[in-house]
Structure 1
Amino acid sequence: MSIQVLALVGSLRNASVNRQLADAAAAAAPEGTEVTIYEGLAEVPFYNEDLDVEGSVPAAAEALREAAKAADAVLLVTPEYNGTTPAVLNNAIDWLSRPYGAGAIKDLPAAVVSASPSPYGAQWANGDARKALGVAGAKVLEDASVAVGGRFELFAETHPKDHAETAAELAGVLSALAGAVEPVAV
């Protein structure tokens, strides 16, 4: 049985560096670990408790929750918009944190990868994402975090999965996530 990691990407552009990093993370996953990049974040409505009623939760939000429930761990890949995480990731965390104390990511190991063209690699967004995941109940791996900065020009010519340093950093994050998954009792 393989370990299932759900990757949520904060940039909705198909060609974004953050999407490329998620693809590279999937390629760098250790044997026995599968990374699935969630494709439906753009369809998830903004969280509204009036919509979050058992039996009538919007289909896109329910699909996100089901994907998280099927996962053994969560990986957030975030750019930095206006000094923090993009709304689409905050919204996903809001839906996944409910019902409070029993949300879909409660007790799931979680890690964050961030990227920006600046040398700082979206460190503010990285920290905010880790904080939000922790409040939502995930087990955030503080030592399994990567902030990729200053490499965007390089990634215009080389996919992150083909850049040795980036691939090694992502492999380390995925190995840590896989190592944090509790074995299922048989």
Structure 2
Amino acid sequence: MSQTNVLVLVGSLRAGSVNRQLAETAVSAAPEGATLTVFEGLADVPFYNEDIDVEGASIPAVDALRSAASDADAFLLVTPEYNGTIPAVLKNAIDWISRPYGVGAVKDKAVAVISASPSGNGAKWAHEDTTKAVRIAGGKVVEDTALSIGGTGALFGELHPRENAEVLAQVSKVVSDLVDAGKQLVNA
């Protein structure tokens, strides 16, 4: 049985963000035969610009992102909501891994999205925009495994999300469904 590699991209750069903690929860919930890795270099990736995305150019942060994305069998995108939409850092990562157009590293790979925010909305608008962007980029969004978590302040307080049994179970299901979908696409 081969190992399924899932690249986790987090839309918040803040070390203590709930979304980062949800990504950590997902990593800890990886089923046997799967490895989830949180990409740590999104803060260093420049804004996408076709003038610098040219053959032969080497941008270390972009090279690292594209390499990790190429090695991934699936993607887990974890996003907060900034002003009613996807954070720029996550959208930028999607833009970079979608190029070159039609053959980017995300093309035809399984993708799941988890969103969370202190509002009762659960970052659903960011969730929708993230799903739309990654689908247009060529990713295969696992539709039935979406997770939006609202009211994170009251729900978690000082606890890590993995300490909430219900949330841990929900995140575990998303990860399991994503890994299964990733295996199906790799073997298709």
Same structural fold, with TM-score higher than 0.5 when normalized by the shorter chain: yes
Give the counterpart letter for 2:158 in structure 1.
E
Give the Cα separation in 1 of the matches to 2:12 and 2:152: 17
Q: CA deviation at 1:12?
A: 0.2
Give the counterpart letter for 1:117 in structure 2.
P
TM-score by length of 1: 0.96
Residue 65 (structure 1) aligns with: 66
The alignment covers a number of residue pairs equal to: 185
Residue 55 (structure 1) aligns with: 56
Q: CA deviation at 1:29?
A: 1.7
Does residue 119 of structure 1 match 2:120?
yes
Give the Cα separation in 1 of the matches to 2:69 and 2:12: 19
RMSD: 1.2
Does residue 136 of structure 1 match 2:163?
no
List 4+ stretches of structure 1 deviating above 3 A.
182-185
Give the Cα separation in 1 of the matches to 2:62 and 2:18: 25
Give the Cα separation in 2 of the matches to 1:62 and 1:93: 14
CA displacement 1:43-95 (0-9 Å, x = unmatched): 00000001001211411111101000011100000000000000000100110
**Among the aligned pairs, what percent are the same residue?**
59
Residue 96 (structure 2) aligns with: 95
Q: CA deviation at 1:36?
A: 0.2
Residue 85 (structure 2) aligns with: 84
Give the match's secondary structure for 1:13. coil
Give the counterpart letter for 2:30 in structure 1.
A
Does residue 27 of structure 1 match 2:28?
yes
Unaligned runs of at least 5 residues, structure 1: none
CA displacement 1:116-135 (0-9 Å, x = unmatched): 00112100000000000000
Give the Cα separation in 1 of the matches to 2:123 and 2:153: 12
Give the match's secondary structure for 1:143. helix
TM-score by length of 2: 0.95
Q: CA deviation at 1:155?
A: 2.2
Does residue 45 of structure 1 match 2:59?
no
Q: CA deviation at 1:151?
A: 2.7
Give the Cα separation in 1 of the matches to 2:133 and 2:92: 11
Residue 181 (structure 2) aligns with: 180
